[in-house]
Amino acid sequence: MRKLFIIIFIPISLGGVAQAVRKYSNEFLSIGVGARALGMGNANVASVEGVNSGYWNPAGLLKQKNDLEVGLMHAEYFAGIAKYDYIGVSKRIDSNSVAGISILRFGVDNIPNTLDLQDANGNIDYNRIKSFNAVDFAMLISYARKIPKLKGLDLGGNFKIIRRKLGEFGGAWGFGLDAGAMYNYKKWKFAAMARDVSGTFNAWSFNLSDKDIATLIQTGNEVPSSSLEITAPKLILGAARKFLFWKDRFSVLGEVNFINTFDGKRNTVIKTNLWSLEPAFGAEIGFKGFVFLRGGLGNIQKQLNDKATGYITTYQPNFGVGIKYKIFTLDYALTDIGDRSIAIYSNIFSLKIDFNKKMNK
């Protein structure tokens, strides 16, 4: 039982403090929000509109057609072990600016803590087992504004506050900035989203008793210490276009994104020692703006084949549908958290609600 605790607790805790600049840091902020985007393989930075833009590209807040929008999503991963929740609200300030706030929670609850499994005499007492939660929170405060002198250009940004908590053992506070832009050229939409453009800083601190430290040492585990974790910037470039058919009753939208990271070589399609690029593709077919069918390919990477004799290209397919009726938009996606195992694909639902009258542009 003690080993069970070590397996669960140590990767969660040490994952954030092993080195200053992390290649995979604050990864819960890379999952995505909204079943529409997830169903399109997370290719969404150019076509996103309204409240969910606070996460994907804050410049897209200016595309919302209503005075106030609310977005909600709940997801469960790993057979319900991990729970992921999102709520977003966006409010139009005037014809040239929109503000929003997004709150995300990713948590694993009721993790067994077996550090006190044995009493002072070395006897195992299962009644001494307690539990704790490993929870990641993020708040994104967004603002977007049109640039009147630059027709077709919208700009937006996020201020991020991050709180990561490991029960009573420790946690971290983090802060960072995102910057986004959208540009409309004829029937094309182009976008750029710079995540963690300032570098997002997580300051970790731990509160372990002498007994906890002794137990970790005895079981051959590293004792975590206070540290500073830095999330390196990521640049996502996107292009999208919508086509209309049969007297505008049918619409076909396609989008491609190029995810650029600058924290060293990753297992992506294109990579160097300093820079890596991963593409993502998404498509959406709509009928009368009422019902939508979506698909996408994401998480396209290189990995060793089964015989470890060479590399193969792997990808994660996604599927989704959506219905828009009056002020409600209900979306569904069949997707994964990223390991491409169809056995643990998750069913994701999200809801968007529009309030108040439409704004005249």
340 pLDDT higher than 90:
no
Task: Give every CB contact of residue 213 below 8 A, 6+ residues apart in sequence.
Answer: 223
Whether the CB-CB separation of 242 and 248 falls below 8 Å is answered with: no
Q: Look at residue 361 in the predicted model and tell me its pLDDT.
A: 46
pLDDT (0 to 100) of residue 42: 95
**Residue matched to tokens 């975590």:** 224
| Alpha-carbon span 280 to 297, nearest angstrom | 6
pLDDT tens per residue across span 161-208 = 999 998 888 899 999 999 999 999 989 999 999 999 988 999 998 887
pLDDT digits (tens, 9 = 90+) for 286-331: 999 999 999 999 988 888 777 777 788 888 899 999 999 999 999 9
Give the per-residue pLDDT at 292.
98
* 88 or 109: which leads in pLDDT: 88
Count H helices and E strands in the chain, helices first: 4, 18
Mean pLDDT over the full length of the chain: 86
Q: Is the pLDDT of residue 21 over 70?
A: no
The pLDDT, as a whole number, for residue 19 is 47
The confidence band for 150, taking pLDDT boundaries of 50, 70 and 90, is confident
Residues in the chain: 361
pLDDT computed for residue 7 by the predictor: 35
Residue where the block lists tokens 């294109």 = 270
pLDDT in tens, 28-68: 999 999 999 999 999 999 999 999 999 999 999 999 989 99
Asked whether residue 133 carries a pLDDT value surpassing 50, the answer given is yes
**pLDDT value, residue 18:** 42
| Angstrom distance (rounded) from CA 102 to CA 53 | 10
3-class state of residue 120 by DSSP: coil
The pair of structure tokens assigned to 137 is 């929170």
Q: How confident is the model at residue 212 (pLDDT cuts 50, 70, 90)?
A: confident
Cβ neighbours for 201, distance < 8 A, ≥ 6 positions apart = 174, 175, 176, 228, 229, 230, 231
Distances in Å between the alpha carbon of 138 and those of 12, 84, 267, 275?
Answer: 17, 12, 27, 27
| pLDDT value, residue 172 | 93
Name the residue with higher pLDDT: 293 or 213.
Answer: 293
What pLDDT is recorded for position 78?
79
Q: What is the pLDDT of residue 29?
A: 93
Going from N- to C-terminal start, the domains of the chain cover 2-358
Residue 222: its pLDDT value, please?
Answer: 77
Percent above pLDDT 90 for the chain? 57
Letter for the amino acid at 260? N
Report residue 22's pLDDT band, with 50, 70 and 90 as the boundaries. Answer: low
- What is the DSSP code (8-state) at residue 319? E
Give the separation between CA 116 and CA 130, rounded to whole angstroms.
8
List the one residue out of 326, 243, 349 whose CA is nearest residue 66.
326
Average pLDDT over residues 84-107: 96
- CATH 2.40.128.20 for domain 2-358, yes or no, is no
Tokens of 159: 């201020």
Q: Looking at residue 341, what is its pLDDT? A: 52
Predicted confidence at residue 151, as pLDDT, reads 86
Q: Which residues pair with 98 in a beta bridge?
A: 92, 144
pLDDT at 221: 75
